[in-house]
Copies of this chain bind each other. A is one copy, B any other.
Amino acid sequence: MGKNKILLSVLAGEIGARLQGTDIEVSGIAGVDEAGPGQVTFLSNPKYADQARETKASAIIAKHPVPGAGCAFLLTPDPYLAFARAVERFHPPVRLAAGVSERASVHPTALLGKEVHIGPFAVVAEGAVVGDRVTVYPGAYVGKGVLLGEDTVLYPGVTLYEGVRVGKRVLLHAGCVIGSDGFGFVPTPQGYLKIPQVGTVEIGDDVEIGANTTIDRAALGVTRVGPGTKLDNLIQVGHNVEIGRDTVIAAQAGISGSARIGNRVMIDGQVGLAGHLEVGDGVMLGAKSGVASSLSAKENRAWSGIPAMPHRTWLKMSTLLPRLPELFRRVARLEGAKTAGGEE
């Protein structure tokens, strides 16, 4: 893979960096430990400077040169961005050849755009509209009346229930389920009665949704994921949730019904949010935190813990938690000093 050769000076221009060192040809990119001669690598953090000195790579993308390193440098104020561009340069995205497999099941009323790829055993149901250059991998299911924007990709086994609307350039990873019924029941003396879930889901442009993530359809109305938002694997999004734009949510987080998550929010892994609350723009939630009520970045930006508290408070608190037994002993000692009958 990625065997196209390019001069370091040319690569520098393409990725927005400045070359320091000899201008030789390179042909690939790899991690700092794995990279060999003729390859470029990447240093995100100055604390890995030792690795940089030991790398066999021909050039390192970095913010500053590492003294003592024998290779060239591609210097840039934003090495992460330059790295992303360099990876794409050596591994340009490959689109599957246009065509509809004879072994796919495409309903005659479905509308297919230009140059779509529909793999074997994929289903495109009645009235679905598939935008230009959409890729539907084998075994994916596009329900009745679903809308798929241009250049969107459905990996194997994705399920889109009836009526779901997906924007342009969306990546839906294998096994994710969009539009399943929200979890709504009314207790009755005869057991739970299902509240029919007759709303839908709308996924904005440029969204990515991870493998086996589930997004429930609204009871009434719409569950929304805003444009540019990225969801990792195994996330649960409940019915009528609204997520803003450019928000990132890490794996196994769960968002209960009717919660409203703002723009540019960052939610770390295994976080849980209760229903009907609001998380304001720009809030950051630490891993495993449990959010029971609305949070605003104006009050405080980063939150952690169960229940969520300001991250700095949580850091102090959590350092002291293991010392709780000691604190009990100290208080008992103080009480003992005061009275004859101190507890310990």
| A positions within 8 Å CB-CB of B | 1-2, 29-31, 34, 78, 80-81, 83-84, 87-88, 90-91, 93, 101, 103, 105, 119-121, 123, 137-139, 141, 155-157, 159, 161, 171, 173-175, 177, 180-181, 183, 185-186, 188, 191-196, 198, 206, 208, 210-212, 214, 216, 219-221, 227-228, 230, 232-234, 236, 238, 240, 245-246, 248, 250-252, 254, 256, 269-270, 272, 274, 287-288, 290, 292, 305-307, 309-310, 313-314, 316-318, 320-325, 327-328, 330-331, 334-335, 337-338
Instruction: Using A31-B220, A105-B103 as known contacts, say yes or no to A269 and B254 having CB atoms under 8 A apart.
Output: yes
Instruction: Using A252-B252, A254-B269 as known contacts, say yes or no to A195 and B228 having CB atoms under 8 A apart.
Output: no
Instruction: Using A159-B174, A287-B290, A320-B324 as known contacts, say yes or no to A2 and B198 having CB atoms under 8 A apart.
Output: yes
Having A183-B232, A287-B290, one finds 9 other A-B pairs with CB under 8 Å, namely A83-B195, A139-B157, A155-B161, A173-B180, A175-B212, A192-B246, A254-B270, A274-B287, A305-B321
Asked if B290 and A84 make an inter-chain contact with CB atoms under 8 angstroms apart, the answer reads: no
Rounded to whole angstroms, the CA-CA distance of A313 and B195 in the bound complex is 33
The interface residues of chain B lying within 8 Å CB-to-CB of A84 are 186, 193-196
> How many whole Å from A87's CB to the nearest CB in chain B?
5
The interface residues of chain B lying within 8 Å CB-to-CB of A334 are 331, 334-335, 338
The interface residues of chain B lying within 8 Å CB-to-CB of A192 are 228, 230, 246, 248
Asked if B123 and A121 make an inter-chain contact with CB atoms under 8 angstroms apart, the answer reads: yes
The interface residues of chain B lying within 8 Å CB-to-CB of A141 are 137-139, 156-157, 174
Rounded to whole angstroms, the CA-CA distance of A338 and B180 in the bound complex is 62
Instruction: Using A2-B198, A87-B220 as known contacts, say yes or no to A309 and B328 having CB atoms under 8 A apart.
Output: no
Residue of B whose beta carbon sits closest to that of A89: B196
Rounded to whole angstroms, the CA-CA distance of A318 and B322 in the bound complex is 9
The interface residues of chain B lying within 8 Å CB-to-CB of A185 are 230, 248
Asked if A208 and B194 make an inter-chain contact with CB atoms under 8 angstroms apart, the answer reads: yes
Asked if A214 and B214 make an inter-chain contact with CB atoms under 8 angstroms apart, the answer reads: no
14 pairs of residues in contact across A and B, judged by CB atoms under 8 Å: A81-B188, A87-B195, A121-B121, A123-B156, A157-B159, A191-B246, A212-B234, A251-B256, A252-B254, A313-B322, A314-B322, A320-B325, A330-B331, A334-B335
Rounded to whole angstroms, the CA-CA distance of A212 and B254 in the bound complex is 14
Instruction: Using A191-B246, A323-B328, A334-B334 as known contacts, say yes or no to A123 and B138 having CB atoms under 8 A apart.
Output: yes
Closest 6 pairs between A and B when the two form their complex, measured CB to CB: A159-B174, A191-B228, A177-B211, A180-B211, A236-B251, A141-B156
Asked if B316 and A325 make an inter-chain contact with CB atoms under 8 angstroms apart, the answer reads: yes
Partner of A81, one of B105, B174, B193, B196: B193
Residue of B whose beta carbon sits closest to that of A292: B287
Residue of B whose beta carbon sits closest to that of A200: B1
The interface residues of chain B lying within 8 Å CB-to-CB of A321 are 305, 309, 317, 324
Instruction: Using A84-B196, A216-B233, A288-B290 as known contacts, say yes or no to A221 and B180 having CB atoms under 8 A apart.
Output: no
Asked if B233 and A214 make an inter-chain contact with CB atoms under 8 angstroms apart, the answer reads: yes
